[in-house]
């Protein structure tokens, strides 16, 4: 049995589908029945679990040969760092009590740093807690997800300006499509060869690094209108993030992350990482997001 936590997410559902195509039994761990509907249609067993609840996490991994673990940053939480650490502790305890043969944890570029990188320090904690557990542990460290730009698209389309926390706008940074992460995760879980080292660290990013200027230009070409990238002043970051609905503590995790990005601390750890590259270009991801925005707008108009 292959168990996928976060199976309804952009990465998890791709991994689940790939494993089903390979003929494997998949248990999709989700938060509610609605999330499980599409996964059940492709033959996944559905388990609803609260990752802060030791009993439900232990139940989710019963009989697992391999587990793909995702510990999401809780967006609506007043103290997301503390809550995510508790989530990690619950999972680690469950794995220690019932270790799978193979464990793959979704992590981030920069997870080797114990401090000073905002959200990414939580993935450092994840790695330190899970490293000793299974006989074969893999940390799949992904670059910044291209889909993260989705939250800024409404602003860019409405105002013709794409705000960026990447400074300067010309700086090239690694990014990757979630679907490429999901496909690689499934490939690694299916790899039955004995690991040469555990934990195994694998990194993934897109074939080409991009800048905020590249993102704005590509978005403008797809939307058939001029869109300009704007470097958001550092003094405005917290207010902008909190205005977008993040709590103060979550906003601080983001600002610390981008401070580290802009200082050049967030990148692939080339000394120990097996490097992989996704094939999906930024243009394809942005086109998909725009299509979704258009479909939502059409449905909303029809409902009025």
Radius of gyration of the chain from its Cα atoms, rounded to whole angstroms? 19
What size, in residues, is the chain? 304
How do the domains of the chain map onto residue ranges? 2-143+176-205+267-280
Record the tokens describing residue 217, joined without a space: 């230009």
pTM reported for the whole predicted model: 0.94
Tens-digit pLDDT profile for the chain (304 aa)?
999 999 999 999 999 999 999 999 999 999 998 999 999 999 999 999 999 999 999 999 999 999 999 998 888 889 999 999 999 999 999 999 999 999 999 999 999 999 999 999 999 999 999 999 877 899 999 999 999 999 888 889 999 999 999 999 999 999 999 999 999 999 999 998 887 888 999 999 999 999 999 999 999 999 999 999 999 999 999 999 998 888 999 999 999 999 999 999 999 998 888 999 999 999 999 999 998 776 665 555 455 5
User: From CA 184, how far away is CA 45, in angstroms rounded?
Assistant: 22
DSSP 194: P
116: phi > 0 → left, psi -120 to 50 → alpha, else beta; which?
left
Q: Which helix (H) or strand (E) element contains residue 47?
A: strand 45-48
Q: What is the DSSP string of 73-86?
A: --TT-SSHHHHHHH
User: From CA 119, how far away is CA 22, in angstroms rounded?
Assistant: 34
Q: Which CATH number fits domain 2-143+176-205+267-280: 3.40.50.1970, 3.40.50.720, 3.40.50.1980, 3.30.465.10?
A: 3.40.50.720
């Amino acid at each position: 049995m292959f168990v996928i936590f976060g199976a309804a997410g952009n990465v998890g559902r791709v991994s689940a589908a790939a494993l089903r195509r390979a003929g494997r039994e998949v248990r999709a761990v989700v938060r509610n029945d609605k999330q499980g509907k599409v996964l059940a249609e492709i033959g996944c067993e559905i388990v609803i679990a609260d990752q802060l609840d030791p009993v439900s996490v232990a139940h989710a991994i019963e009989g697992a040969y391999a587990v793909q673990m995702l510990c999401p940053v809780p967006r609506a939480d007043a103290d997301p760092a503390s809550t995510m650490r508790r989530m990690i502790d619950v999972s680690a305890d469950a794995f220690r009590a019932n270790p799978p043969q193979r464990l793959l944890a979704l992590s981030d570029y920069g997870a080797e740093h114990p401090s000073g990188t905002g959200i990414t320090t939580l993935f450092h904690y994840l790695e330190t807690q899970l490293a000793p557990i299974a006989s074969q542990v893999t940390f799949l460290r992904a670059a910044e997800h291209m889909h993260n730009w989705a939250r800024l698209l409404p602003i860019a389309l409405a105002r013709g300006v794409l705000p960026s926390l990447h400074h300067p706008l010309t700086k090239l940074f690694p990014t990757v499509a979630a679907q490429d992460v999901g496909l690689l995760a499934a490939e690694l879980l299916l790899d039955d060869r004995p690991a040469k080292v555990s934990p195994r660290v694998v990194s993934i990013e897109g074939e080409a690094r991009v800048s905020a200027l590249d993102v704005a230009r590509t978005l403008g070409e797809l939307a058939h209108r001029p869109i300009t990238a704007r470097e958001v002043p550092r003094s405005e970051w917290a207010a902008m993030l909190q205005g977008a609905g993040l709590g103060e503590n979550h906003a601080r995790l983001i600002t610390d992350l981008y401070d580290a990005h802009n200082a050049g601390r967030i990148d692939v750890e080339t000394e120990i990482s097996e490097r992989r590259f996704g094939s999906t270009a930024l243009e394809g991801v942005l086109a998909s997001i725009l299509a979704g925005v258009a479909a939502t707008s059409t449905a909303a108009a029809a409902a009025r």
